[in-house]
Amino acid sequence: MVDTTYEAARTDSRRTAVPPKIRNLNANNEVPAYMSEVYDWAYVNPAKVGWLDRNIVVKTLLFGNDQRLMRAYLALIKPGMRVWQIAHVYGDLVVRAAQRVGAAGCFHLTDITPVQIEHGQRKIGHLPWVRVIRHDAAHFEGEGHAYDLICSFFLLHEVPEEWKHAIVDNMLSQIPDSGEAVFVDYHRPAWWQPVGYILRVVNHFLEPFAKSLWEREISSYASQASMFEWEKECLFGGVYQIVRVRRRASQNPAGC
């Protein structure tokens, strides 16, 4: 069953206040304005989503690096974990992630867009340890214990700057000492990487919020970055980054 009214009562003293511009959209089941204005073609329009939600589309968009990037995330999941994945991902990633968690754990998938919830529910909603929840990532709070693993898989490049700050802070507030967050996303390509020139055109016309990840470290969006250890790996000539974050450390990500 899809949960569209998920609201946690838990208060976390470590939480950083969400910026005023980012209001909770869930009470009225709203979709952020930028989603309708910028990403209707990709994530809002049901007809187009139905065509795009295929493994071959993911492989094409990621220049054949889809399996490599997915494996980096899936390798962090151990059976019995509590995992929160932020945003539905096209293809079979959510199925593979939920299956790795298994019946001894729990897998929460959140998304703010109705059609994405529908697709996520169809893929994994039948699994007893899964909850598919309509909620924005800036305000969502897991019930009960904190998550062992929280994953943002190619979400940050698709949200405005104020949302990046709010989402990163919200993710980090919910990882315990023994847990971690992982961000898989775009990065500034090396000068010699020809894909970088293709992405410049794509970003200009279709991905207006992606450029900042070429210019800033993901750690710069955290209000209390020094409380965490940041480990970054770059792939495919710098086109992609995998950033793993753990609590109670002081190291910032190294450059690529």
Listed by start position, the domains of the chain span 26-183
Q: What is the pLDDT of residue 8?
A: 30
The per-residue pLDDT for range 4-47, each reduced to its tens digit, is: 332 332 333 333 444 445 555 665 567 899 999 999 999 999 99
Distance in angstroms (rounded) separating the CA atoms of residues 143 and 152: 19
Q: Please report how the helices 66-74 and 93-101 are oriented relative to each other, as an axis angle in degrees rounded to 10.
A: 20
Res. 76: pLDDT tops 50: yes
- Share the mean pLDDT of the chain: 89
pTM, entire model: 0.88
Q: Percent of the chain having pLDDT more than 90? A: 81
The pLDDT score that the predictor gives to residue 81 is 97
Fold of 26-183: Rossmann fold (3.40.50)
pLDDT recorded at residue 7? 33
Burial of 204 (0-12, 13-18, 19+ CB in 10 A): exposed
Q: Record the tokens describing residue 183, joined without a space.
A: 């961000």
Give the whole-angstrom CA distance, residue 61 versus residue 121: 24
What pLDDT sits at residue 141?
Answer: 92
What is the reported pLDDT for 19? 46
